[in-house]
Homo-oligomer: A and B are copies of this chain.
């Protein structure tokens, strides 16, 4: 986990790992035994196609269609592509859309690995202001698009990247109104960029699934090519790394397939077969129910430690997330959370590390935010690490 070996006492609330305690080794064994029984010809250990196993693609689509508010009757399993986690889908999507110098609109804050990905492809990230309640500031977005038009680069906006469900890092969901707002402002400016919705944490709600449908099901996005990214990496097993992308646009999908064909010929077929077996045998939803309880309890624990510590009175704000693995904390404006600054050192002295929030911003990055993860640490360690963190905050 990248922690110094000389500090075995350190607890990381930074890493995006899931909790080993809920990794379903028994279920994966059951799936493997099931495959051995049902496919004695061993097809599950042979190459598959670049596109992915047909039944798995169908099951991904059915799973998605059963989420609240979705209306996906127009989509078929042909429009689903199996990927090496949603990260690969994100890479393929961006590579297929963008040339160096192109622009992508992202929420501010957004997934920092995506910012690095964009930079590696020499694509400029343009931040869209969002708020903690799931809103997108329409006027600000409109102003940004006007600015890009004036700069003469509006036509180079090739994609809009949205995280509608328990976003990384802020764990907030986008409201129906916010998504509609994005579509309307884009249309107003005659910008028909592709829309990528990354729903990596959608299945990891802590009790009630967020009721807003994806951009695939929202008529206001009808004129936009759309790609929805789902994954079994976080909810099922990080070590299997199977994700999927659903596209409304067949030509775009063909491009993704072509690039993936050159990159790897298709996701490891064994892993696809294991996930397919788990879905086909109705074992995924019960697993999710367990995860919901598990991570929900950890979220409550962290929230309580933070709440009881008194850091709110010291100017710190957060909302307990309803899903996902992340807490997003805003400190006083004059408090730097950067790695070299006093707070980070105080945390390190006490044996806890976090992700400084400024990594997550495309635009002028405020440095008084912090991302904490409830993923990897067990309850005892989470408790201890949170106490250390609060002590460090209060020492400032």
Contact = CB atoms under 8 A, between A and B. Distances in A.
Given A25-B36, A25-B42, A42-B25, A241 B262 contact: no
A168 interface: no
B25 A46 contact: no
A20 B46 contact: yes
A394 interface: no
Interface stretch (A179-187, A194-202, A265-273, A315-323): A265-273
A395 interface: no
A238 interface: yes
Interface in A1-38: 16-18, 20, 23-25, 28-29, 32, 36
A117 interface: yes
A55 interface: no
A18 B46 CA distance: 7
Contact of A20 (B43, B241, B265): B43
Interface string A58-90: 000000000000000000000000001101100
Contacts of A32: 29, 32
Contacts of A17: 46-47
A301 to B, nearest CB: 21
Given A29-B36, A42-B25, A240 B120 contact: no
Interface residues of A, number: 46
A152 interface: no
A269 B239 contact: yes
Contacts of A263: 84, 87-88, 91, 263
A389 B72 CA distance: 47
Interface string A250-288: 000000001101111101111101000000000000000
Contacts of A265: 85, 87, 113
A16 B116 CA distance: 36
A295 interface: no
Given A264-B241, A265-B85, A23 B45 contact: yes
B262 A240 contact: no
A269 B91 CA distance: 19
A57 to B, nearest CB: 17
A48 interface: yes
Contacts of A88: 263-264
Contacts of A258: 120
Interface string A164-193: 000000000000000000000000000000
Contacts of A36: 25, 29
Of A17, A25, A43, the most chain B CB neighbours within 10 A belong to A25
A44 interface: yes
19 contacts: A20-B46, A23-B46, A25-B42, A28-B270, A45-B239, A47-B238, A84-B268, A85-B264, A87-B265, A91-B263, A117-B262, A120-B262, A238-B269, A239-B268, A239-B269, A239-B273, A263-B263, A268-B271, A270-B271
